[in-house]
Amino acid sequence: MSDIREVSASSLATRLAHPCIICLCVVAGAAPALAYRPFDGTDAAVADEGKVEIELQPAGRLRDASGTTLIAPAARFNYGMTESWEAVLEGQIQTPLSPSGPSNLSAAGVFLKGVLRPGSLQDKMGPSVATEFGVLLPDSNGDSRFGASLAGIVSNRWDWGAIHLNGATALTREHHADLFAGAILEGPSKWTVRPVAEVFYEKEFGRSETVSGLVGLIWKVHDDLSFDVGLRHALTNSRSVNELRAGVSFGFPVWRPSPTHH
């Protein structure tokens, strides 16, 4: 695709309207989750222009010091606005099981993600570099407010696998400063089923400190359909957290770029 786009304002508005309507309809039916599945971090890539990618976790289980929580559903919607930028909407519903409690729409946010330097993830030489920033939306329960986040991502892919490094800072919904640093390791992308792992450290100042590790598998059926499973163990303020994640990622075009794009 060329860097110069000769698209009229009315044509662009029409193209943007279709995916927005689709996303709003999906969210209305199944509340919006996490980043690149099954991780907490992400990679330095965006959805293709004119394409919607959905990362869906129908149900997951989290157990910590407060009890057991059902996370169902959790979803992330990515829409490729241009060759280098995508819009993101994410969130999840948490339902305490033991002890039982009301469901809560949480971890919701609206973001922009852009590739600053095309690299190996874009079939070019060297590392790919991206940024993601946006607004954290209040939880449906409690007294949380709006927050904000800014992240930087560096990814590189080789024949033996890929590494994605994440660094982020945020103002949380409770208006605490937060820092996140993580690394994702993947097996060869040519494998139909590849092993994956993630480690991260997060500190929410005045509230919590977390060290987390995840191991899992991604089964790539084809370019637009993958299944994933992950087991995560973490220590938050020295207390154990265990989580089972399983989901699916799929994509589809909602419009095709002009033939003049390369």
Per-residue pLDDT of 129-158, as tens digits, reads: 999 999 999 999 988 899 999 999 999 999
User: Degrees (nearest 5) of the Cα angle 110, 63, 214?
Assistant: 65
The token duo for 146 is 């709006």
Domain 9-253: state its class. Answer: mainly beta
**Higher-pLDDT residue of 260, 202:** 202
Give tens-digit pLDDT for 39-83. 999 999 999 999 999 999 999 999 999 999 999 999 999 999 999
**Tell me, what's the pLDDT at 142?**
83
Residues 141 and 102: their CA atoms lie apart, in Å, by 9
For the segment 172-198, the average pLDDT, to the nearest whole number, is 97
Predicted confidence band at 7 (pLDDT cuts at 50, 70, 90)? very low
- Of the candidates 42, 38, 79, 78, the one whose C-alpha atom is nearest the C-alpha of residue 57 is 38
| Cα separation values, 189 from 15, 122, 195, 216, Å | 32, 13, 10, 15
Single pTM value for the model: 0.84
The token duo for 71 is 């996370």
Residue 19 identity (one-letter amino acid) = P
Query: Is pLDDT at 26 greater than 60 in this prediction?
Result: no
Predicted confidence band at 255 (pLDDT cuts at 50, 70, 90)? confident
The most confident of the ranges 16-25, 28-37, 142-151, 177-186 is 177-186
